[in-house]
Chains A and B, each alone.
Chain A
Amino acid sequence: MPETNNKMMPETTGRALQPGWNRLPWTVLLAPAITLVAVLASWLTPKLTADPFTLSFVPTVLVLLLASMHVWMLLRVDLLSFASPVFMAIGGYTLALVAMHQTTNAIALIIACFIIPAVIALPLGLVLLRLRGTYFALVTFVLAQVIVLVITIAKGPLGGSSGISGIPPAQLGDIQFGAAGDLVRYSSCVAAVGALVAAVVSVRWRRHFAAIEENEPLASSLGLRPWLFKTVAFVSAAGIAGLAGLILINQLGNANPDSFQPFSGVNHVASAVIGGPSIIGPAVGALILAWLTHEFASNAQYSQLLLGAALIGVVLFARRGITGLVRDAALLVWRRGHRAATPTGRPSAASGTWDTPAPRQAEASGAPETAATPLAERIRPGSEVVLQVSDLGKRFGGVAAVDGISFELRAGDVLGVIGPNGAGKTTLINMVSGAMRPSTGTVSLDGARLRSSSPYSMSRNGVARSYQQTSVFSSVTVRENLARGKAFSKRWIPDEELDRLLQITGLADRMDDRAGDMPYGLQKLLGLVLPLATAPKVVLLDEPAAGLEVSERPRVDDLVEWAIEQGTGVLIVEHDMDLMRRICPRLLVMDTGRELASGTPGDVLAKPEVVTAYLGVTEDDDAEELTGTAEPASRPVEHNEIVEVRSHE
């Protein structure tokens, strides 16, 4: 166990990035385990399995379990699917056709009923997964209606509305899994396969799924391909639902469109939602649903009434379902017992051994020469041009938001872009980062023309960006945020470098804090660390200092310095003139989409048109005063403040 070494190791990021199996809920393997126990128990207790109630009840629960798992799996990537009947029908009819015409081998049937729905789901997924949210839910709902119509119309091979009857039961050697204990055992085995697939997929890619569910734009800007993992979830969920169809049709002995009512998908959604996001959620939900159906077999209205009420109750009062409620209650009891020992129930932030004075303070006392020489003057850009922007323009209708902007950025260079609000700075960044297609002009990275493309491929090509607003995975710890970045990015920096970034930002001693609980400034800094740690060739920083306290702003200097040491080209948009003067050897001033001026900060800020654009006044004394600010020593502080206040209007 790597964990044991950690006590000896000082604060290396090796520990910081431990995936931490201890953090992984042990319950992930519970569902398959329960099913296996059920299988074993059914062998050990022949009397029980001879009971007609068990005979019908167990397969019913297992069908519900797998169908709910289908929904549960897709909920993990933030998709709501009513398509469980679709893939159950495909699985069920696969069983019917294979058993009638090919083989009744039990294992072959399991494989066929998993693979065929999954294979059909693949092209479907490629098309449907372009949709999100509401639309995906609608499409799956429509799909459930289509499948029934298709079966009804396909009278030849599928038997139309009367279906296929007389399907031979699955067999293995001499055992027929058509009735009694054998049916229960076979159904349990099939369910175990489905549960195992669900567990393996959702554990293997838990970070990817959780990141897509929580903040898909951030995840893809770190290099994750959302469609790939949604496809993984969709395809495996389809196979799992196919196995549900297998159990159902093997139990019934005939396949009929009535067994796959479009609205049964609603029950499966209900069961998955009521159970909750824990992996045993579908099992709990399926048991509740099966119990309701059984308890009120003769009065379906009451089970439906309770189900509806439970759905509303869960969405309003228990977002994490029944398993979430139980977990919260258990935590509450546990914390009460341990209140004296650890009040939070989690290792507190201070328990880390990180030794972090704010780096600027340390530097201010220990290395005065860096403070004396601004970063801007120490920058020695490399010779290669990493980013070339020529004649870039963007029109929205008749308005030219950006018009004929050209510049180049060398490795290890910093270019600052300033301008009043609405000057087109963010549009420029959006075009350079590929998020927006330019109307005119080109963007080239390392000499190769970049076309508007997905955030993940930009990230893989080495273009990273930060956002004006904070963008982090706020429900998890800083450590997990970084672990996700490492899992998604192919370019992720080595641990020692990450350590430096964490020291610079002061995040090193907040590793175990939930990102969303940290003060805004730290969240914002984490939002800067994440793109920087993907070792980009070019990083686009959109107002990195906005919202930071004045005392936190020097950390941005240090981050930029770190980036240029790595040979990254930095394009920075910012309103904090002090900061820009410190770190930018060159400035590009934009106004109404066009370039107003460019050159060294001293020259640029001396130009009267720049002053006019920024302050909206033309009096000479104003111009003089802003010019004066080019020399930090003689600069009156208020004017810097004016510029900043105006820019935030």
Chain B
Amino acid sequence: MNEIIQSIVGGLALGAEYALMALGFSLVFGILRVINFAHGAFYVVGGYFAYWVTHTLGMPYVVGVVVAVLGTAAIGYLFELFIVERRVDDHLATIVLTVGASLIGSAAMLALFGPQAVQFKAILTGSLHLGGVYVPHARLMTIVVAIAAVGAVYVLLYRTRLGNALRALTDDREMALAMGMRPKVLFPAAFGIATGLAGLTGALVTPQFSLAPFVGESVLSISFLTVILGGLGSLSGAVIAAVLVGLVQSFVGTYIGGSWASLILFSVILVVLVVRPSGLLGHRTVNA
């Protein structure tokens, strides 16, 4: 019984982390219709920002997290403004551009910090002990931040003028342009917010997992999984799918083990993509 509860709690925590990873990715696709292959690289860069601030400069972890968010947001903003924006209507070109950015990002980290995983110690230690179930404090914090971030993105998109403008651009770009909206301002902002979220995730999660130049690849895979499953561009879909993926991984990891969890998930993804390209929860109208 305890094992089941432990699996559920572990799955939920994992799901929260995955939701955080997928949030920015989903946001970029939802608004710009761009598949950001550099999402994992931004996660890694965020992790290294936090690591550099806390370990090299010796400043508090909170400062590291803030620097990670602002730094990755700024890079993402500039990358969209000067590079992606020029080809934003060409789906294949944006994929290649973000692939290029991803290569550059991980190569830069490789050059600066070396190929080995760095010792990025978690600040929060210890765990919550509830009737035979253990939840590390760091994971609890991630869950809290994930819920807060999802809420913030929801408020941003549905309760603010910026959000209204962004959604209008997504719905009908030509009409929104005709009504005076400025994609040159809005798109970089959206991209910056999304990469800032990736950086935040990196700063929060890498102390628990590991921090090396190429860990972004698995983050990218996870983002693909959840976002495709939940429906490309659907925020609520991505969050629900992230929790589902977390639970599946947790249970399969406990009861079957090995690579089966990933294989099952990826196979489900393939079936979903082919049978229902808009995802389990996505709208039928999504059409890339």
Q: How far is the CA of A395 from the CA of B97 in the complex (A)?
A: 42
Q: How far is the CA of A269 from the CA of B104 in the complex (A)?
A: 15
Q: Is B101 an interface residue (CB 8 A)?
A: yes
Q: Which residues of A contact B269 (CB under 8 A)?
A: 142
Q: Which residues of B contact A262 (CB under 8 A)?
A: 217, 221
CB distance from A240 to the nearest CB of B (A): 20
B260's nearest neighbour on chain A, judged by CB, is A153
Given contacts A131-B274, A137-B92, contact A307 B103 (CB under 8 A): yes
Q: How far is the CA of A454 from the CA of B116 in the complex (A)?
A: 54
Q: Is B71 an interface residue (CB 8 A)?
A: no
In the complex, are the beta carbons of B103 and A266 less than 8 A apart? yes
Given contacts A146-B263, A304-B107, A315-B87, contact A138 B97 (CB under 8 A): no
CB distance from B108 to the nearest CB of A (A): 7
In the complex, are the beta carbons of B92 and A153 less than 8 A apart? no
Q: Which residues of A contact B99 (CB under 8 A)?
A: 266, 269-270, 308, 311
In the complex, are the beta carbons of A134 and B288 less than 8 A apart? yes
Q: Mark A299-322, 1 if CB is under 8 A from B, else 0.
A: 111101101111110011000000
* Contact partner, A311, options B97, B108, B232, B270, Cβ 8 Å: B97
In the complex, are the beta carbons of B92 and A80 less than 8 A apart? yes
In the complex, are the beta carbons of A308 and B103 less than 8 A apart? yes
Number of interface residues, chain B, beta carbon within 8 A:
42
Q: How far is the CA of A540 from the CA of B111 in the complex (A)?
A: 62
In the complex, are the beta carbons of A312 and B83 less than 8 A apart? yes
Q: Is B8 an interface residue (CB 8 A)?
A: no
In the complex, are the beta carbons of B273 and A138 less than 8 A apart? yes
Q: How far is the CA of A75 from the CA of B270 in the complex (A)?
A: 21
In the complex, are the beta carbons of B93 and A134 less than 8 A apart? no
Q: Is B102 an interface residue (CB 8 A)?
A: yes
Q: Is A180 an interface residue (CB 8 A)?
A: no
CB distance from A162 to the nearest CB of B (A): 14
Q: Is A183 an interface residue (CB 8 A)?
A: no
Sorting the interface of chain A by its residue count into under 10, 10 to 19, 20 to 34 or 35 or more gives 35 or more
Q: Mark B172-212, 1 if CB is under 8 A from A, else 0.
A: 00000000000000000000000000000000000000000
In the complex, are the beta carbons of B91 and A316 less than 8 A apart? no
CB distance from A601 to the nearest CB of B (A): 36
In the complex, are the beta carbons of B228 and A138 less than 8 A apart? yes
B34's nearest neighbour on chain A, judged by CB, is A134
Q: Mark A122-143, 1 if CB is under 8 A from B, else 0.
A: 0000011011111101110111
B214's nearest neighbour on chain A, judged by CB, is A263
Chain A CB within 10 Å — which of B96, B104, B217 has the most? B96
Q: Mark A245-279, 1 if CB is under 8 A from B, else 0.
A: 00000000000000000110010011001000000
Q: Is A152 an interface residue (CB 8 A)?
A: yes
Q: Which residues of A contact B106 (CB under 8 A)?
A: 304
In the complex, are the beta carbons of A316 and B87 less than 8 A apart? yes
In the complex, are the beta carbons of A312 and B273 less than 8 A apart? no
B112's nearest neighbour on chain A, judged by CB, is A301
In the complex, are the beta carbons of A141 and B100 less than 8 A apart? no
Q: Is A150 an interface residue (CB 8 A)?
A: yes
Which residues from chain A sit less than 8 Å from chain B, CB to CB?
75, 78, 80, 127-128, 130-135, 137-139, 141-143, 145-146, 149-150, 152-153, 262-263, 266, 269-270, 273, 299-302, 304-305, 307-312, 315-316
Q: 6 nearest interchain CB pairs?
A: A308-B103, A311-B100, A308-B104, A304-B107, A134-B288, A301-B110
5 other A-B residue contacts (CB within 8 Å) besides A135-B277, A146-B263, A309-B104: A142-B228, A305-B103, A305-B104, A305-B108, A316-B87
